[in-house]
Chain A
């Protein structure tokens, strides 16, 4: 299994990561060797095996639906790089 630079560029875009051309080359090589080392996994016969998403026996535990106070707005905005009128401020989303 080997990844091309074009595939790396596609994955990086899906993951919202801007890469330099040098990073694209290096990740193509490194991700390919990691995937190659995982190849033996693909040979295991798992036709009869169900997947494990969690090790816990819990089945979506329920709790009473009781309202509780939210943290104050200023506190939740205090780490934001930019705010306006009590909201997060971002650059234009649409053209």
Chain B
């Protein structure tokens, strides 16, 4: 399941909803991304996430489907927020549920790596010097590319 939304989310509630009626699940892995207050040595007062409505949902559905092909998953969830957020706020949640932990751990990392390099989101940071668009990082491309080799 994927959701692209402006509102915050409740991690505990999301995990419960995903697992409560599925007792074949033996392990749940999750990743929660938060807004930091410092990036590139600058203080950040807030961040605005822009996205491409339509393509974002399509991309997230594609990478989720790929994760289900590559690993044995009983359920999964991707929530990504857009709009303005302040340090400490939750940006993204990826949850993968499987019978065994290996599939859950690996697929969760795969989903985050792919999301970071493919999903059409852009971060604008607010600093004392004004707004600054965040540059993409090579390390994110490297992280995503290792999944091709297996």
A and B part of one assembly: no
List residues of chain B with CB under 8 Å of any chain A CB.
Answer: none
